[in-house]
Amino acid sequence: MALKIISSQCTSCSACEAECPNVAISEKGGTFVIDPKKCTECLGHFDSPQCAAVCPVDDTCVIDNAFPRYQLPA
């Protein structure tokens, strides 16, 4: 139910942090990480995941398959 950041590709530019509607992103140990408990894949807020749309490095903010996809509460 979340996206994750491939930390080896993250430039620590912090752009995603400010865009996340759920304050799910924070800096940890020099790169940025997504808290999977807070991330909603931007569903209900925006058309596409904001972190992925603003990130300067392609394929760095990606779906985390370790979790089932997020469902909007009915």
31 to 70: interface string for ligand SF4, x by CB under 6 A: -x-x----xxxx------xxx--xxxx--xx---------
11, 18, 26, 71: which one binds ligand SF4 (CB under 6 A)? 11
Binding flag, residue 4, ligand SF4 (CB under 6 A): no
Taking CA atoms, 69 is separated from 10, 36, 42, 49, in Å, by: 23, 11, 12, 13
Burial of 74 (0-12, 13-18, 19+ CB in 10 A): exposed
Of these, 1, 43, 53, 63, which contacts another protein (CB under 8 A)? 53
Contacts with another protein, residue ranges (CB under 8 A): 11-15, 17-19, 46-48, 50, 53-54, 56-57
